[in-house]
């Protein structure tokens, strides 16, 4: 006999800890909150293989690694995202394996990753494009906020790592998050790609 089925109030049921199921024991108590939790847990299992953008990496790519190393890890050559500028050793590339991302390459090192417009890449902050600026600021009250360089009403939200060598940067305009990127300092804070 399965010990988890013997007692409907066992400490671990359906692969979820009892504390997470609190309030979900009866039909009357099965609320939207419980349903949302189940959907959240289910989506984590379904998308477990999907890379998450952090301040230091995206999937197999660690910011600061050589481009050749990333190509070897992904078993593919990088593609130029935009025409290269002559005399400048800085450009954006993408990989077929990570089509929702573009990577900034400086001196043959991947220094940053930008979420492409139209892509919904998960990140360590659980913030998405179109999220409200006020909601993100409320969730992260200690975030460093700077004035946007081109939008007088816009902002940069900068989430630096403890050693201050990497960061996730969110760009906000008109009260909504518009751009998400991560990588090494100072590249992650460049406003115009290589500048």
pTM as predicted: 0.74
pLDDT mean over 140-153: 95
The pLDDT tens digits of the residues spanning 123-135 come to 999 999 999 999 9
Confidence category of residue 10, pLDDT binned at 50, 70, 90: very low
Q: What pLDDT score does 23 carry?
A: 41
Residue 160 in this model has a pLDDT that exceeds 70: yes
The answer to whether the CB of 172 falls within 8 A of the CB of 137 is no
Distance CA 177, CA 145 (A): 13
Q: For the chain, which residues make up each domain, given as ranges?
A: 3-46, 57-189
186 prior amide bond cis, ω within 30: yes
Which stretches within 80-178 are classed as H helix? 133-139
């Amino acid at each position: 006999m399965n010990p988890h089925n013997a007692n409907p109030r066992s400490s671990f049921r359906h692969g979820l800890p009892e504390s997470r199921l609190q309030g979900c024991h009866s039909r009357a108590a099965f609320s939207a909150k419980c349903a949302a939790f189940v959907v959240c847990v289910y989506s984590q299992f379904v998308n477990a293989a999907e890379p998450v953008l952090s301040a230091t990496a995206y999937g197999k790519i660690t910011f600061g690694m050589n481009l050749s190393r990333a190509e070897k890890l992904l078993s593919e050559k990088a593609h130029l995202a935009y025409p290269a500028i002559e005399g400048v050793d800085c450009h954006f590339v993408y990989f077929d394996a990570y089509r929702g991302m573009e990577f900034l390459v400086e001196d043959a090192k991947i220094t940053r990753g930008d979420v492409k417009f139209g892509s919904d890449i998960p990140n360590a902050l659980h913030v998405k494009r179109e999220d409200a600026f006020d909601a993100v600021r409320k969730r992260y009250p200690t975030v460093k906020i700077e004035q946007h360089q081109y939008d007088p009403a816009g902002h940069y939200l900068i989430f630096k790592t403890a050693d201050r060598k990497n960061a996730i940067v969110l760009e906000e305009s008109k009260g909504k998050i518009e751009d998400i990127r991560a990588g090494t300092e100072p590249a992650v804070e460049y406003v115009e790609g290589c500048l």
